[in-house]
Every structure is written in C-alpha cells, then in structure tokens.
A and B are shown apart, each in its own frame.
Chain A
Amino acid sequence: MATTTATITLASADLLTDALSFSTTATLTAAGTSTGLTATTGLGRKKLASGHAQYTLFDGDQYANGSHKVYLKNTSTTASQYFTIEINSEQMGKLYAGDWAFFPWEANADTNDIKIDPSADSMVLEYMLFIDE
C-alpha cells in the first residue's frame, strides 16, 4: 500500500513569550479508512498566460466525492502578487508570493471546482492533488 504523508511545522521564536514550535504529520488515507491514497496528479507547475483570467484548476465533476488533498504554492517573488482561491465560487483566500496551502477537498458536487485567479500576468503556480479514487 502506498504511503503518503504530509507534515507541517509552525515555528516562531518571538511571536509569543514562549517560543512557538510544533509539528504534526498526517498519513493521507481514503475517506474513513486506513487505506492510503492511491493516485496523484504528481507535482505540476503552471505558468498562467497574460490576461490573468480565472482558471479551473480542478474540476469537481472529474473526481468522486472523497478525501482528496490539494497542495498549492505561489512561486512569485513579488510580494504584491497573489492567487485568489475559490471553491464552488466561494472565495477561500489569497495566496501571496511564496505562500503555500494544503487542504482537504471533497469534490462533493459537479460545481465544487477549485479555481484560481492570478493577480498579474505570467504568474507561476505549483500544485498537486492526492486523489481518493
């Protein structure tokens, strides 16, 4: 069985009086089971064309309702550049230069698309989807 893990570490020496440092690892499994996820898009990189229109990154009707996991990274080094992330037209947030995100995606409806909207031309997004088949 394939094993896929996701580890996050959050650390700050000076945000609080006591140093903040914690780390946790999730083993990515199919919904409600201990069976590891068996499919992935692999790591992708997309340079978005001029006009910076909104793009559908992952289409809800292409995936079953499940425990998918999404990884996104804005590779820009220009601080003001961001990707706006939407799920089913609900704005989640803005991924600024250098930021990454990792979140579960349910794909529970055909309209439950993940869309990205770059704030400038020629921005590059790194992305990966772990798929619950």
Chain B
Amino acid sequence: MATIATVELTSDLLSDNMSVIADTTLMKAGTTADDLDQIEYGVVEIATGDEFDLICSTPTATKASKLYVKNHSIDETYYIAITQNAQAIGKLYGGPNGSGDWMFIPADFHDAAADIAITSNGGTNKVEYALFHEGTALTTT
C-alpha cells in the first residue's frame, strides 16, 4: 500500500539550469516495510479573516504523518497563513492558472497544542489538503 511523493524543483536562477528531483515512499515512523495507510483528503473554501484548525493535533501524535496543503486561489495577493501552535510557519499565496503555492511537511503533532491552523487573507481562499497518517482518535458519539 505504497504512496509515493515526488518533488521536482526547477530554476534558471543559477548559471546552470537547476533541476532537483526527489521522491519518497510514505512510511510509518522509523520503518521501511510499513506504509502510511490512512488518509484525510479534502478541499475547503475559507472566507477572508477566518482562522481554524486544518488538522487538530489528536489524530497522529508523535508519528510520521505527512501533510500536503495547496492554495488554489487564482489571485496572487490572496494567501493563507500557516501556523502551528500559534507559531508562524509561512504563507501560501495564490497564483493564476493553478500556480499557487503548496507545501509538504512532516507533521508529528507532538503535543495537544500542536495544531496546524490556517488563516485566510485577501479574499476567499480555496485550499486543498491531504494528511497521510497512522491513525486518528475518532470522537465517541
């Protein structure tokens, strides 16, 4: 049950055109044979000024979860601010023709406060996200 994440970075900033490619198979923490086998995948639209937890910390504490987030806004002045435990990580800006920013990070949700929160700015941002994880604490009805 393998999931493969590949990144390709290209740039003409340097004299030699750069092309860096890396891929990884998403594994549970510290293993080579046990793949991450659960996923939370969705799309949300967030009005400007709204802030909420995209991923709360309880699902996957101290594991090797991977989080993907993409801003699909087509306006380059729109952005979502990403924070973890109120600490700024960075901003994902929109862009024309789907060229908006994305990120892919290891997220170990090391304690109860380590939520990943997003705040929408500039206008309504459409955000795609996927969390590959090792398990969630489902809420008892």
Partners in one complex: yes
List A residues at the B interface (Cβ < 8 Å): 2-16, 20, 24-29, 31-34, 37-40, 42-43, 67-69, 71, 73, 79-80, 82, 85, 87-106, 108-109, 112, 126, 128, 130
Q: Are B29 and A96 in contact (CB under 8 A)?
A: yes
Which of B9, B14, B39 gathers most chain A CB within 10 Å?
B9
Which positions in B face A, CB cutoff 8 Å? 1-14, 18, 20, 22, 24-25, 27, 29-32, 37, 39, 64-66, 68, 70, 76-77, 79, 82, 84-85, 87-93, 95-96, 98-108, 110, 114, 130
B7 touches A7 (CB 8 A): yes
Contact of B93 among A13, A67, A100 (CB under 8 A): A67
Please measure, in the bound complex, the distance between the C-alpha atom of A120 and the C-alpha atom of B68, giving whole angstroms: 27
> Could you tell me the distance between the alpha carbons of A111 and B30 in the complex, rounded to whole angstroms?
30
- Judging by beta carbons under 8 Å apart, are B99 and A6 in contact? no
Residue numbers in A under 8 Å from B66 (CB-CB): 99
Minimum distance in angstroms from A31 CB to a CB of chain B: 7
* Residues of chain B within 8 A of A38, CB atoms compared: 13
Tell me if B's interface is mostly helix, strand, loop or mixed. strand
Given contacts A37-B13, A40-B13, A71-B9, 6 further A-B contacts (CB under 8 A): A6-B8, A6-B102, A8-B7, A11-B3, A103-B89, A106-B89
Interface of A is mostly: strand
From B10, B87, B104, A103 is in contact (CB under 8 Å) with B104
Q: Which residue of B lies closest to A70 (CB)?
A: B90
Q: Which residue of B lies closest to A10 (CB)?
A: B5
Q: Are B27 and A79 in contact (CB under 8 A)?
A: yes
CB distance A101 to B90 under 8 Å? no
Q: How far is the CA of A101 from the CA of B104 in the complex (A)?
A: 5
With A15-B39, A71-B7, A99-B24 as known contacts, state yes or no: A29 contacts B12, CB within 8 Å.
no
Counting chain A CB atoms within 10 Å of each CB, the highest count among B12, B29, B101 belongs to B101
Residues from chain A with a CB closer than 8 A to the CB of B106 are: 85, 92-96, 99, 101
Name the B residues within 8 Å of A103 (CB-CB). Answer: 82, 89-90, 103-105
Question: Complex: how many Å from CA A65 to CA B99?
Answer: 22
Query: In the complex, what residue of chain B is closest to A111 when comparing beta carbons?
Result: B87
Query: Considering only CB atoms, which chain B residue lies closest to A84 in the complex?
Result: B108
